[in-house]
């Protein structure tokens, strides 16, 4: 009989040790072993907080955030703080105490992120915040801020000496977060949490830090409901809210602005205050950072912009001459422009007049012979201006971009593309569909293709898409090997693509071969040409034109124009090449995706383009959709020139965009037009048209072939 386990309560008046002795005779050896192990585990999980080693140093540092940074992170903050640093320190601490919003744009390379990392520790240890939330453009960037905080608390020896109630419970975990559940002080759990996504500081008797929380978010994450154990963040510190890519996209700018204005602001109730500080660098005159720091557009953010040059030199003419001399010296082979340096030293007093820099620090450049090439911060600034441009310097280092870019775009997003689903499954032909076109964007190792069914007034749905692999090639493969491998892959792909719903016309990108002997695209181009000669209709080689270089020719025996495309006969190759206005067709297809798929009565809208439905896989079109929005047409207002339209590449993963553009261009060659004839009132299932070879071999496709 297990007397120990059966006893319900310890009798009153008997001490614990005596009680254990009285019942020990009734315990089995197993029970005794369990008791010993339990006591050992409890002892191992128990911690004792050391005393503070230097209370005076601690209190002085907590009274002065600048002193705190230099005391505990001396290796990170060796240089004197500039005007922008001091303002950011004051702004962050002030908002933490009193709430409200503050946006600060500082020059690139001024160590904003490093300042943020140190101040996050200060805010917590000074007791100014209970739930700080570092935020950045992406979750990965925000995670770096969070991990830096964990590293400082977990490894900084001086912090351990002066803040043992915070640091020692973390050290006691010895890198094993699972130990946190049993950690205790005199039998009282510390409730510490120390994971890669969320932390909670330990409950220590007499400590004000118990229960302090931290997590992190990227502006590509969902903020709604961002709370932990019923607590919501009380301090949001946003470090660089946008990437170089997102700063150019109107859609992404609007999305991130909405997150800050709605989701982040909505983390607290109407009666509560939330501190929000944004530290950033302006990238252009319409980006989110520009908006947040523009007091006229966002007065609630109290925006401030700092530039490296606070006051410009009075003798701008001499600095312009300095730039000219530097350019001439560099052209002559002197990369450091020493003649310009001599000019500056000879006229330094006049050239420095009126100058005020945000910081007098500059990077000294000493040549092998001991010559100093840089002598001041303003000289270093003009070296950058000379090596890039005044426009680039004003954007990157002055937060004052030229007001020439006011961009507008269609606003198509990857999510919008993925949502445009036809209701038909993969490779299922809609009943009204009359013909199919295919586009193939050629690549050395992987070629992307898309297959579209069409009917009515330019109504299309992508019924299938994929990647054609080309095996056996390496980075050193010669053109002959590339041609043979690609030709083999294309013949296999031909079998697959024509097995079900054969295309009326298929355009295959033939690469960018320029005709030069050593051009690496030669093998791909010749492989496509060889395949098109072998396969015949409906497969045709295509070549895209961009940057406004496309010109539609007059009709001639060897040039047949279509809609923003024309076929030209390559006599020496024995085939017809389709020349495509690539940018026009990319914009056309994106407009089709912007058009809602269905109207209010659930009929397909004229001019709509959709993708096949995937009811069991919501992420099926994720990669495809990102390719479709990897480029966009943007209209900008340029001072002195008016509205200027530019095609911007946002991502190099644009292969399905090229493939769909080719399939759309093929449809245009086949006669697809917007508002050309009424859509049938009721669906019917006509027999699928077969491609008819009405023209002699070697002739281009004609629109009459689909009728």
Q: What is the DSSP letter of 88?
A: H
Domain limits, CATH 3.40.50, in the chain: 55-305
Q: What share of the chain is helix, strand, coil (3-state, %, to 5)?
A: 40, 20, 45
Helices (H), 608-683: 622-628, 655-669
Helix (H) or strand (E) holding 417: helix 414-419
Buried b (16+ CB within 10 A) or exposed e, 243-255: beebbbbbbbbeb
- Provide the greatest CA pair distance for the chain: 114
Q: What is the pLDDT of residue 425?
A: 94
Q: Are 567 and 576 in contact (CB under 8 A)?
A: yes
Residue 544 token pair = 């895209």
Q: Are 390 and 312 in contact (CB under 8 A)?
A: no
Q: Which residues have CB under 8 Å from 361's CB, separation 6+?
A: 79, 80, 82, 377
What is the spatial distance between Cα 258 and Cα 252, in angstroms, rounded to a whole number? 10
Q: What is the pLDDT of residue 617?
A: 82
- Measure the CA angle with vertex 167, ends 162 and 170; round to 5°: 165
Q: How many residues make up the chain in this entry?
A: 707
Helix (H) or strand (E) holding 68: helix 65-72
Q: Which fold has domain 55-305?
A: Rossmann fold (3.40.50)
Q: What is the pLDDT of residue 624?
A: 93
DSSP states of 219-251 as a string? TTS--TT--BTTB--SEEEEE----TTGGG-HH
Q: What is the pLDDT of residue 405?
A: 43
What is the spatial distance between Cα 587 and Cα 506, in angstroms, rounded to a whole number? 20
- Output the CA–CA distances (angstroms, integers) from residue 168 to 147, 160, 179, 193, 297, in the order listed: 18, 6, 14, 13, 47
Is there a cis peptide before residue 166, judged by omega within 30 degrees of 0? no
Helices (H), 173-315: 250-258, 288-292
Q: What is the pLDDT of residue 546?
A: 78
Q: Which residues have CB under 8 Å from 629's CB, separation 6+?
A: 412, 413, 414, 417, 590, 650, 657
Whose CA is closest to 120, among 205, 272, 239? 239
How many beta carbons lie within 10 A of that of residue 667, not counting itself?
Answer: 28
For 645-673, the pLDDT digits (tens) are 677 788 888 999 999 999 999 999 999 98
Q: Which residues have CB under 8 Å from 568's CB, separation 6+?
A: 553, 558, 559, 576, 577, 579
Whose CA is closest to 383, among 391, 392, 374, 396? 374
Q: Are 191 and 103 in contact (CB under 8 A)?
A: no
CATH number for the segment(s) 416-679: 3.30.420
Stretches where the chain sits below pLDDT 50 are 1-10, 14, 404-408, 677-697, 707
């Amino acid at each position: 009989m297990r007397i120990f386990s059966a006893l319900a309560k310890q009798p009153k008046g008997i001490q614990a040790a005596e009680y254990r002795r009285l019942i020990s005779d009734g315990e089995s050896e197993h029970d005794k072993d369990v008791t010993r192990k339990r006591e050992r585990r409890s002892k191992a999980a128990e911690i004792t907080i050391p005393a503070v080693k230097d209370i005076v140093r601690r209190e002085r540092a907590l009274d002065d955030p600048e002193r705190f940074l230099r005391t505990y992170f001396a290796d990170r903050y060796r240089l004197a703080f500039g005007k922008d640093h001091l303002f950011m320190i004051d702004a962050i601490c002030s908002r933490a105490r009193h709430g409200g919003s503050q946006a600060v744009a500082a020059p690139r390379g001024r160590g904003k992120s490093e300042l943020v990392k140190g101040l996050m520790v200060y805010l917590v240890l000074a007791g100014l915040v209970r739930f700080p939330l570092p935020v950045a453009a992406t979750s990965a960037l925000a995670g770096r801020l969070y991990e830096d905080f964990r590293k400082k608390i977990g490894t900084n020896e001086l912090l351990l000496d002066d803040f043992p109630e915070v640091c020692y419970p973390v050290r006691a975990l010895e890198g094993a977060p699972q130990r946190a559940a049993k950690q205790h002080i005199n039998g009282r759990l510390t409730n510490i949490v120390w994971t890669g996504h969320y932390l909670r500081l330990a409950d220590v008797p007499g400590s004000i830090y118990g229960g302090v929380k931290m997590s992190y978010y990227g502006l590509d994450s969902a903020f709604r409901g961002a709370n932990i154990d019923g607590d919501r963040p009380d301090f949001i510190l946003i470090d660089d809210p946008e990437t170089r890519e997102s700063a150019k996209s109107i859609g992404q700018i609007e999305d991130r602005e909405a997150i800050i204005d709605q989701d982040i602001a909505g983390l607290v109730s109407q009666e509560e205050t939330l501190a929000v500080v944004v530290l950033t660098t302006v990238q252009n005159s319409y980006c989110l950072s520009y908006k947040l720091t523009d007091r006229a557009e966002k007065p609630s953010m109290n925006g401030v912009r700092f530039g490296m040059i606070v006051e410009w030199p009075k003798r701008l003419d001499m600095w312009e001459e300095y730039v000219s001399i530097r350019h001439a010296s560099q052209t002559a082979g002197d990369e450091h422009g020493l003649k310009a340096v001599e000019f500056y030293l000879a006229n330094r007093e006049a050239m420095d007049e009126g100058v005020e820099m945000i910081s007098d620090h500059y990077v000294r450049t000493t040549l092998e012979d001991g010559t100093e090439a840089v002598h001041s911060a303003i000289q270093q600034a003009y070296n950058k201006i000379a090596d890039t441009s005044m426009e680039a310097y004003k954007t990157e280092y002055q937060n004052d971009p030229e007001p020439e870019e006011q961009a507008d775009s269609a606003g198509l997003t990857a999510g919008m593309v993925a949502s445009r689903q036809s209701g038909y499954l993969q490779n299922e032909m809609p009943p009204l569909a009359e013909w199919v076109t295919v586009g193939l964007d050629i690549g050395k190792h992987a070629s992307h293709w898309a297959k579209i069914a069409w009917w009515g007034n330019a109504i299309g749905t992508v019924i299938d898409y994929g990647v054609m692999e080309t095996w056996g090639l390496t980075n050193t493969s010669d053109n002959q090997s590339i041609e043979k491998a690609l030709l083999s892959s294309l013949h296999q792909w031909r079998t697959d693509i024509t097995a079900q719903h054969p295309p009326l016309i298929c355009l295959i990108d033939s690469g960018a071969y320029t005709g030069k002997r050593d051009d690496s695209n030669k093998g791909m181009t010749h492989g496509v040409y060889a395949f098109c000669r072998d396969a015949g209709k409906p497969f045709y080689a295509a070549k895209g034109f961009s940057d406004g270089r496309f010109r539609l020719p007059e009709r001639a025996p060897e040039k047949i124009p279509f809609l923003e495309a024309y076929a030209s006969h390559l006599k020496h190759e024995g085939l017809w090449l389709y020349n495509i206005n690539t940018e026009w067709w990319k914009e056309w297809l994106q407009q089709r995706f912007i058009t809602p798929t269905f109207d209010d009565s659930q009929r397909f809208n004229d001019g709509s383009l959709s993708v096949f439905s995937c009811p069991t896989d919501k992420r099926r079109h994720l990669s495809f959709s990102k390719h479709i929005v990897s480029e966009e047409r943007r209209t900008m207002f340029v001072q002195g020139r008016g509205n200027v339209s530019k095609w911007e590449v946002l991502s190099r993963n644009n292969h399905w965009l090229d493939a769909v553009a080719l399939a759309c261009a093929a449809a245009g060659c086949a006669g697809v037009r917007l508002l050309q004839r009424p859509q049938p009132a009721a669906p019917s299932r006509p027999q699928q048209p077969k491609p008819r070879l009405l023209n002699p071999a070697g002739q281009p496709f004609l629109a009459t072939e689909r009728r």
